[in-house]
Structure 1
Amino acid sequence: MKIHFTVLLGVLLASFAQAQTTTKFPSGYLYKIEAGAIGRQVYVCNQRPFNTSGELVGVGDLTAQTQQVFENLKTALGTVGMTLRNVKQVTYHVKGQTSQVNSTISQQVNSVSATYFTQGAPGIAEIKSIPKIASDDILVEVEVIAEK
């Protein structure tokens, strides 16, 4: 019994290691989860401003980074047959030194989002200031909840 368990564990670990080295995910739209009824509700979390090559877009430029995030969101939602029109809730996490988002940052984010949410902003939209994101050069990350 002990030998069977050891062999099984070895096979599982080898399979896991192979899956980790051979699976390549596209950069920038990595965190997509379907919940509940398949195809009905999707959560996209920690969407960051990386292009498909994995390079950070718009270092120091909040507008360029927000645009890249929206392009990544369109791609992620498209993989499950949705568009930005399906977004019901959006939360922007913007890098800042205080807990309050200043009006300039708010205007930049809202201006970019207006060009992508052509049918109007989702019913729930919030901009939060956070002291640090995954990297010092990342100025914004976005979460959305979309529903068919």
Structure 2
Amino acid sequence: MKHCLAILFCALTTSFVQAQTEPKQPTGYLYKVETGVSGRQVYVSNQRPFNANGELVGPGDLTTQTQQVFENIKTALGTVGLTLRDVKQVTYHVKGTTTQVNSAVSQQVNSVGATFFTQGAPSIAEIKSIPKIARDEVLVEVEVIAEK
């Protein structure tokens, strides 16, 4: 009986170790802090346009990528009991060649944001142009600060 238990324990331990060491498909960078205290902030940063399978959505299409980013943000906020209505600040990082964001890009990003922020945009919203994002095909990443 002891011999059978020892074999079972070894088999389970080996399976557990193998499962932990297998690489997972990256789906973008998610940084989320749950304070658990009412009135405290929750940060979701560096949301990128990857779907649940880790695939880039909308290569070359800023609008489609921004929509996917907001879907990811909704999911992340939902895991801590929040919605986009709880967002107090949003920062868009758009891939660009200069430090200035042109008005067409700004309008495009704000238009997508308006479809997700149905109660109005957060009081603090900023669009920044950055020369490079994690992958060349990624055109936008977004971070938000929400409050319980």
> Which of the five TM-score ranges fits, normalised by the shorter chain?
0.7 to 0.9
What RMSD over aligned residues (CA atoms) do the two structures have, in Å?
2.4
Structure 1 residue ranges (4+ consecutive) displaced by more than 3 angstroms after TM superposition: 17-20, 22-26, 35-40
List gaps (5 residues or longer) in structure 1. 1-16
Instruction: Report which of the two structures shows the higher radius of gyration computed on alpha carbons.
Output: 2
One-letter code of the match for 2:48? R
* Aligned residue in 2 for 1:135: 135
One-letter code of the match for 1:132? K
One-letter code of the match for 2:143? E
Alpha-carbon spacing, 1:136–1:63, altered in 2? closer, same or farther (3 Å): same
Q: State how 1:104-143 maps to structure 2 within 5 Å.
A: 104-143=104-143
Equivalent pairs, count: 132
1:81 aligns with 2:75: no
Displacement of 1:41: 1.7
Alpha-carbon spacing, 1:31–1:23, altered in 2? closer, same or farther (3 Å): farther
Q: Give the TM-score taking structure 2 as reference length.
A: 0.81
SS in 1 for 2:33: strand
Q: Deviations over 1:88-138 (max 9, x none)?
A: 000000000000000110010000000000000001000000000001000
Alpha-carbon spacing, 1:107–1:50, altered in 2? closer, same or farther (3 Å): same
* Aligned residue in 2 for 1:21: 21
Q: Give the TM-score taking structure 1 as reference length.
A: 0.81
Displacement of 1:33: 1.6
Displacement of 1:32: 1.4
List gaps (5 residues or longer) in structure 2. 1-16
Alpha-carbon spacing, 1:23–1:137, altered in 2? closer, same or farther (3 Å): closer
* Aligned residue in 1 for 2:91: 91
SS in 2 for 1:82: coil
Q: Determine the C-alpha separation between the residues in 2 that align with 1:96 and 1:67.
A: 19
* Aligned residue in 2 for 1:53: 53
